[in-house]
Structure 1
């Protein structure tokens, strides 16, 4: 259902260290996940990547067999409208 592989995200391209770095995250259909951590640990950044609001600097963000990193902004927006809901 959700598969992240070698994902990094940097807010600024010239930053030395990525804001978020995930070597692998697999969430299967029906699986429940609790996301927690201190302020600034990347929770909202991860949700923005999963929602297609932001795109990863590198790696693959695949949801429902769709690689969000290879889609245009318009296609990611349509995918989010059809498949993803986020409540902040």
Structure 2
């Protein structure tokens, strides 16, 4: 599952780091999200956790994506399960 989460998060590139950053730039976030998915968290909780995670890790001045966008990403992750 971690590989699928990595693909989705890296394609999303939530703080627009690519192509200038290393490919493992979101490794910590991917690991944390993968653990949540493994715990069988529900879709809305996953979306909330993704949003909160990126705000905490990067701040709301760097991570400017909406909760709705995080919900779409959570849904993509659920689809891949």
| Superposition TM-score tier, normalisation by shorter sequence | under 0.3
| Structure possessing the higher radius of gyration over alpha carbons | 1
Q: Which has the higher helix share?
A: 2
Task: Please give the TM-score of this superposition, normalised by the length of structure 2.
Answer: 0.28
Task: Please give the TM-score of this superposition, normalised by the length of structure 1.
Answer: 0.26
